[in-house]
Structure 1
Amino acid sequence: MLPKRMWLFWLLLVLGLGLIFYLVLGRGVDSTTTQQVLRREQALARAEASNIMTFFQMFGNSIAVFAQLASTEDRNANLVRNMDEFVDQWRDSGLIGGILLTDKEGVVQFNSNVLGTRDLGTSLSDRDYFIWAEEQSKEGEYFVGQPVVSRVGASKDKVVAVIVSPVYKNEIFTGVLAASVQVKPLTEQYFGLLRISDATRIYLINESGEILFNSFDEKTLGLNVFEPAPDRPFWGNHDLIDNFKSAISTSQEGRMRASYLNTISGNMEEHLVAYSPVLLGSQNWLLIMASPAKNVTNVTTPIYIRQTGILFLIYLTVLLFGLMVYRESKRQNKLSE
């Protein structure tokens, strides 16, 4: 009976060691890998948010300088030529629709766009950027307007972010100089180059929660992720939505592992989510990157396979050692007899 008991002992010992090995080291690897992916995703989100802010800062400064040119203030014959040259400089980028100048009432008086049309006479007095410009007391400032559907020019009926600067003549407000940046080509050009995997989804939402960009599903554009509905991204996780709201109000970035509804498959799935604020003066947007957590499983699977191999070697080593001990014990018993 002694050999059977010894074999049972060694078998239970190996199984126990294997279980401990898996629970302690295996889960530790998964947790460590998850944190590494989240940190990397956070860094990528921060970098892409910074790229967008740099673009708007550069573009906004150029509009502010344009608004202070003598041709703009005087509205002379050189104004249209300068506006056309500005459009030509940006034409190949595909990012802007055009540039225009209004009178003090907000009515478009000059307009140059990539289509070559003028579209004069449209009133923009109800736009947030015109209201902002009217309230300014000095030139040289710029403002990024809330993304809206364009009413005029080459970007008509498209979602644009309008960058404006007030125009003055002898310190008297005479209108606004405004250039439209098309949100879709801008986000497509700046987002997506940096991502964890091909399954990573990138979202851009404004401070109200409306989706400005979705790298995976354009049908969600304009939907509000803060409104509970099963057709919205991140539906089913109130903590995640609360974190987004807090990030926008406090301009703080963050990351977390969260489960929410996959609007394509209809299943609740775990994701690794990182987000970073996009600060554009009075506008606070939020860039969100989300990768399926199963990607981490795919990364750690080879590690588990190696662990299994190591466990098997340990099993053989312990087994052979036990066999040697048993034989030596049996030999000693025979000698003592």
Structure 2
Amino acid sequence: MTKKFFYLISTISFVIFFALSFTLYQITGASSIKSLVEQMLHREQVIVRSGASSISSFIDLTSRSLLILSSNNIITPKILQDFVDNWSDTPVVGIILTDIQGQIKLTASNAEKLSLGGNVSDRDYFIAASGSPPGTISFGKPFVSRVPGAGQTFKIPVATPLYSNNKFIGVLTVSISIPSLTEKYLEPLKISPRTGIYLFNSNGDVFNGTTQEVVNQNIFHIVDEHPFLGDKIVMPLIRQKLTSNQESKLDIVIPDFSTGKLTRTLIASSPVKLNSSTKWILAITTPIDDALIFISPFVLRNVILLIFTYFSSIALSLFIYNRFLQKR
């Protein structure tokens, strides 16, 4: 009877001990995941903030250089070529000089073979620059160039008017490659191979993205055409973040742009400020599965601790049982 009673007490003690260990493992595991998610969101925020600041600074530096160039009394093809040569190995891909009618008169590029003869009078950057005083910088919406020979990727137009004897004579416009911008400043900082980098405006128009299918699309129109479970809650939240022009962090479930599968995703965004009226949004996305790879050391530690506890409890039970037999 005493022996059976001992077995019963030992078994109950072991079960309780194991249950407590398992509960502790679950609690610490959940706590570790929550902590890791917060750390990853913070890391994404630091990266996207740095990227947005770098992009803004680069565009500002390009703008200042363009203003210096526009102060020349005479602008020749060699002057334009020297300008783009000085910006080689940067996202600056070309420069054009147009007359007051928007007709392209001169071009220069390191990356593309641009031709003359195009007209940009309907472009927003040309219209804005045409009505501006000397020394003014105008930014247009990212565009795909119509200049013959230009690549078909989105570019940022930076324009300034040209004056001679206080008379408007044309517009000088630099093109900055958006894919090159994000590649230069953000690609080396990606958290995982599946980390996405997207640049869009507050309306949701995508200028550049890791998933090419969404480039030149509107994310809200995409969701309207391909709704998903929970979109009525998620999309208004995303729209609110886009229009706030503030940094934001989100841990939400959205479709993976490449697969369409609902995926828990960590998103951090930051505004890219070009001037007081022109702001874009830079966002970084990382699937939660990729982020949780970094929790493996914590999981391994807890598993080892649990196994150690398991065998320790067995050893302790055997020790007590042997002592019990010796006393008898």
TM above 0.5 = yes
Range with greater deviation from structure 2 (123-132 or 227-236): 227-236
Equivalence map 1:303-318=2 (5 Å)? 303-318=298-313
Q: Which residue of 1 aligns with 2:144?
A: 149
1:112 aligns with 2:115: no
Range with greater deviation from structure 2 (5-14 or 223-232): 223-232
Range with greater deviation from structure 2 (322-331 or 276-285): 322-331
CA deviations 1:76-106 (Å, max 9, x no partner) are xxx332112213333x427344222222333
Q: Which residue of 2 aligns with 1:38?
A: 41
SS at match of 1:276: strand
Q: Which runs of 5+ in 1 are unaligned?
A: 73-78
> 2:259 and 2:155 mapped to 1: Cα distance?
31
Q: Which residue of 2 aligns with 1:277?
A: 271
> 2:296 and 2:228 mapped to 1: Cα distance?
27
Q: Which residue of 1 aligns with 2:165?
A: 170
Q: Which residue of 2 aligns with 1:76?
A: none
> 2:209 and 2:260 mapped to 1: Cα distance?
18
Shift of 1:224: 1.0
> 1:246 and 1:98 mapped to 2: Cα distance?
36
> 1:256 and 1:4 mapped to 2: Cα distance?
53
> 1:43 and 1:234 mapped to 2: Cα distance?
30
> 2:37 and 2:184 mapped to 1: Cα distance?
28
SS at match of 1:245: helix
Q: May I ask how many residue pairs the two structures share in their alignment?
A: 323
1:57 aligns with 2:60: yes
Contact 1:155 1:182 in 2 (8 A): no
Shift of 1:107: 2.7
Q: Which runs of 5+ in 2 are unaligned?
A: none
> 2:228 and 2:105 mapped to 1: Cα distance?
44
Give the TM-score normalised by the residue count of structure 2.
0.86
> 2:288 and 2:135 mapped to 1: Cα distance?
47
* Equivalent AA in structure 1 for residue 105 of structure 2: Q
* Equivalent AA in structure 2 for residue 189 of structure 1: K
SS at match of 1:110: strand
SS at match of 1:42: helix
Contact 1:203 1:287 in 2 (8 A): yes
Shift of 1:320: 4.0
Shift of 1:56: 0.7
Shift of 1:8: 2.5
> 1:40 and 1:234 mapped to 2: Cα distance?
28
> 2:319 and 2:114 mapped to 1: Cα distance?
93
Contact 1:262 1:269 in 2 (8 A): yes
Q: Which residue of 1 aligns with 2:83?
A: 86
Equivalence map 1:56-75=2 (5 Å)? 56-72=59-75
Instruction: Give percent identity, aligned residues only.
Output: 26
Q: Which residue of 1 aligns with 2:239?
A: 245
Q: Which residue of 2 aligns with 1:196?
A: 191
Shift of 1:26: 1.3
What is the RMSD computed on CA atoms of the aligned residues?
Answer: 2.8
SS at match of 2:106: strand
Match for 2:95 among 89, 92, 99? 99
> 2:45 and 2:29 mapped to 1: Cα distance?
24
Q: Which residue of 2 aligns with 1:184?
A: 179
Shift of 1:162: 0.9
Cα 1:99–1:235 shift into 2, 3 Å = farther
Shift of 1:235: 9.0
Equivalence map 1:313-324=2 (5 Å)? 313-324=308-319
Cα 1:236–1:139 shift into 2, 3 Å = farther
Contact 2:36 2:292 in 1 (8 A): no
1:221 aligns with 2:215: yes
Shift of 1:25: 0.9
Q: Which residue of 2 aligns with 1:75?
A: none
